[in-house]
């Protein structure tokens, strides 16, 4: 496939694994210059090494840290900006829902449990 993006610069956030890694690899295969961003230096280096086009490089960044984000933005602006932004990151922690009678209690790690009344059985009454 030719997406017409050869030579464009793409910033892929969350590029050290998962969807970000796959997207970065696909963009590089189209000839884009790929900036790989995430926190884990070793995994980013693995991704960069696996991309065989000459222009892939890693940037260590913590998207939860404003100074880190601004620092990367500044470096990229000084280098001419980006043409493509893949605004990706990790998902929320997995939680659970437990039903007791008409009450649903939602538990997510690091967040206080929440209970809510549900009409889940309403149609059976």
Ligand X SMILES: NC(=O)c1ccc[n+]([C@@H]2O[C@H](COP(=O)([O-])OP(=O)(O)OC[C@H]3O[C@@H](n4cnc5c(N)ncnc54)[C@H](OP(=O)(O)O)[C@@H]3O)[C@@H](O)[C@H]2O)c1
Nearer residue to ligand X within complex by CB, 6 or 19: 19
Distance, CA of 75 to CA of 120 (rounded, Å):
52
In terms of C-beta density within 10 A (0-12 exposed, 13-18 middle, 19 or more buried), how is residue 35 classed? Answer: buried
Return the range that interacts with ligand X (CB under 6 A); candidates 25-33, 83-91, 104-112, 114-122: 83-91
Q: What ranges make up the beta strands (E) of 1-125?
A: 9-13, 33-38, 56-60, 84-86, 96-100, 103-108, 111-117
Site for ligand X contains 25 (CB under 6 A) = no
Closest separation in Å from C-beta 31 to ligand X:
23
Site for ligand X contains 19 (CB under 6 A) = yes
Site for ligand X contains 10 (CB under 6 A) = no
Site for ligand X contains 38 (CB under 6 A) = yes
């Amino acid at each position: 496939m030719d997406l017409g993006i050869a030579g464009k610069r793409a910033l892929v956030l969350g590029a050290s694994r998962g969807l970000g890694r796959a997207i970065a690899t696909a963009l590089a295969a189209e000839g884009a210059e790929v900036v790989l961003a995430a926190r884990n230096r070793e995994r980013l280096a693995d991704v960069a090494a696996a991309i065989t086009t000459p222009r892939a490089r890693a940037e260590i960044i913590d998207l939860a840290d404003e100074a880190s984000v601004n620092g990367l933005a500044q470096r990229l602006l000084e280098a001419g900006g980006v043409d493509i932004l893949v605004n990706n990151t990790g998902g929320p922690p997995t939680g659970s829902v437990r039903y007791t009678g008409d009450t649903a209690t939602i538990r997510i790690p690091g967040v206080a449990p929440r209970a809510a009344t549900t009409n889940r059985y309403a149609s059976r009454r």
